[in-house]
Amino acid sequence: MASMTLTINGKIHSVNVQQGTPLLWVLRDSLGLTGTKFGCGEGYCGCCTVIIDGDAVKSCGASVESAVGKKITTIEGLSRDRDHPVQRAWIEEEVPQCGYCQSGQILTAAALIARNPHPSDSDIDAAMDGVLCRCGTYHRIRRAIHHAADLKAGAK
């Protein structure tokens, strides 16, 4: 076991875990941040996605030690009052169906519009490609990302 310090949602957390433990296990099992979901555990579905230093990262494939010293954002910390433009757009466009994939979708979309304020449809498709939705909410996701970009720009 090794003691490690993680910065998650602006707070410092100390954890005592084995080297190589997936960040996903630490978030969910050690820290109770269960908004980050377990799907495949093998890097295919994307429902475990978090933001690390601005990049959307599948936390099942990231070792806990790889996240030390970096800024980690989970769905619990994306905003204080669910007022991030992506969250507002998600609500207004009524994106979720069962909801299971949605924290990964929202965080991937948030990372996208942070680096690309006006993504095209093809930018959106490329960025969101690794996050699967069994309920097929892809059209609403694309619409909500355009809406979020507008909200962020203050256009609507």
List contacts with ligand FES (CB under 6 A). Answer: 38-41, 43-48, 58, 60, 96-102, 133-135, 137
Tokens for 96, please give them. Answer: 């979720």
Q: Would you say 132 or 149 has its CB closer to ligand FES?
A: 132
Q: Would you say 59 or 85 has its CB closer to ligand FES?
A: 59
- Supply the minimum distance, in Å, between the C-beta of residue 153 and ligand FES: 27
Q: Would you say 61 or 77 has its CB closer to ligand FES?
A: 61
Q: Would you say 10 or 87 has its CB closer to ligand FES?
A: 87
- Supply the minimum distance, in Å, between the C-beta of residue 56 and ligand FES: 11
CA 97 to the chain's CA centroid: 17
Residue with tokens 């905003």: 79
Cα separation of 7 and 10, whole Å? Answer: 6
Distances (CA, A) of 135 to 10, 99, 123, 138, 140: 32, 9, 22, 9, 11
Q: Which bin fits 43, alpha (ψ -120 to 50), beta or left (φ > 0)?
A: left
- Supply the minimum distance, in Å, between the C-beta of residue 73 and ligand FES: 16
Exposure string (b/e) for 65-89, b if CB count within 10 Å is 16 or more? Answer: bebeebebbbbbbbeeeeebbbbbb
- Supply the minimum distance, in Å, between the C-beta of residue 19 and ligand FES: 19
Q: Would you say 33 or 118 has its CB closer to ligand FES?
A: 33
- Supply the minimum distance, in Å, between the C-beta of residue 135 and ligand FES: 3
